[in-house]
Amino acid sequence: MRAKLPTGVLLGAAVWLAVSSSGVPAEPITVVLGAQTREVAALREELRDRQDHKILGLPFWEGRLAGRRVVVAKMSAGKVNAAMIATLAIEHFRPAEVLVTGIAGGLHPDLAPGDLVIARQTVQHDMVRHSDSGVEYRGARHPVTGRRASAFLDMPTTLVAIAQQAAARVSFIPLVGDDRRTSPHLVRVITGIVATGDAFVESESKRRELREQLNADCVEMEGGAVAQVCYTLGVPCLVIRCMSDMADQTAMADLEAFADAAALNSARLVYAIVDLLHDGQLDALTLQQKKK
Ligand code: ADE
């Protein structure tokens, strides 16, 4: 029996297989988005044959990364910025997939600064209905159909599998050394739930709430917004995060100490994912799923 593919993958494949005006299938493009300069700088520096674009005055950098056509852009912090840049990038470049890279605050008890989360799902922790009986987390309505999406948006299993495969190849920078962190587990990579909201979390009670109510593994400020745009427009999306802090009272100080290296760890994983995408791994995995 054929395995059901996530809608995003099918629609994304349609974008991917788009035929250019010359009749030749268009070469797939990967869009890579980060919020801060430190989250995109290393990838931008690696772009070969770089072309700089401005769309409505906002910069997008196109070039080749590990041989694949890639567009890198900086979103700045927050969900509105993220949605704006993702929408412009999709409209202008018609990417085969969108990758979000950068730092986050860890919530899973096994995580420490330097560790990574490959999103299996994203959830917007501030898209809620507040009532006296509590908080109900809700997905957004589709602008045309009016259908409400699930609060938790799935990342395509194919992209998650590629990221897991890529992670095994990357040499990450270890940021903390403690008793649990003996080689080869200096840096942990888990697949889990990324919570997104327009809030920097540096609160023990808020981090506990996000963990208990949403089972979230980390918290950041853009991934879920990009995922919603991609879900609505039918483009596969994957969020990658490296922990800069633990979203607790020392979050800001930890972020200042660890963010540069954490951003680099996330960028290294993105590079390895792009490398596998260039090797045609998405084709292979999609086919394997179809055969099942
Ligand atoms: N990005 C990095 N750390 C964060 C935190 N603690 N809260 C929200 N976004 C973050």
Domain ranges of the chain: 28-291
Cβ < 6 Å from ligand 1: which residues?
Answer: 103-105, 200-202, 219-221, 244-245, 247, 251, 255
pLDDT value, residue 227: 98
pLDDT value, residue 177: 66
CA separation for the pair 83, 197 (Å, rounded) = 12
Considering Cα of 6, then 11, then 12, then 16, what sign does the dihedral take? positive
pLDDT value, residue 287: 53
Beta carbons of 34 and 102 less than 8 angstroms apart: yes
Considering Cα of 37, then 38, then 40, then 45, what sign does the dihedral take? positive
Residue type at 172?
F
CA distances for 258 relative to 40, 49, 127, 142, 245, angstroms: 16, 31, 29, 38, 7
DSSP string, 2-19: PPPPPHHHHHHHHHHTPB
Query: pTM, whole model, 2 decimals?
Result: 0.89
- As averages over each run of 10 residues, the pLDDT of the chain (292 residues) reads 36 46 75 98 97 98 97 98 98 97 97 96 97 94 95 98 96 77 73 98 98 98 98 97 97 96 97 93 57 48
CA separation for the pair 44, 29 (Å, rounded) = 15
Strands 29-34 and 97-100: parallel
pLDDT value, residue 24: 58
Beta carbons of 127 and 140 less than 8 angstroms apart: yes
DSSP 58: E
Peptide bond into 174 cis (omega under 30): no
Atom 9 in ligand 1: residue holding the nearest Cα:
220
pLDDT value, residue 276: 96
Short-list 59, 57, 67, CA closest to 41 = 59
pLDDT value, residue 289: 55
Instruction: At 100, give phi and psi (nearest 5°).
Output: -110, 130
pLDDT value, residue 14: 43
Interval between CA 208 and ligand 1 midpoint (Å): 14
Cβ within 8 Å of residue 284, ≥6 positions away: none
CA distances for 65 relative to 95, 155, 216, 230, 262, angstroms: 14, 22, 31, 22, 20
245 included as an active-site residue: yes
Interval between CA 189 and ligand 1 midpoint (Å): 18
Structure tokens at 261: 């290296």
Instruction: At 39, give phi and psi (nearest 5°).
Output: -85, -20
pLDDT value, residue 99: 98
39 included as an active-site residue: yes
Superfamily of domain 28-291: Nucleoside phosphorylase domain (3.40.50.1580)
pLDDT value, residue 175: 87
Short-list 210, 190, 191, CA closest to 201 = 210
Question: Which of 75, 103, 123 maximizes ligand 1 atoms within 8 Å of its Cβ, making it the mutation to test the pocket?
Answer: 103
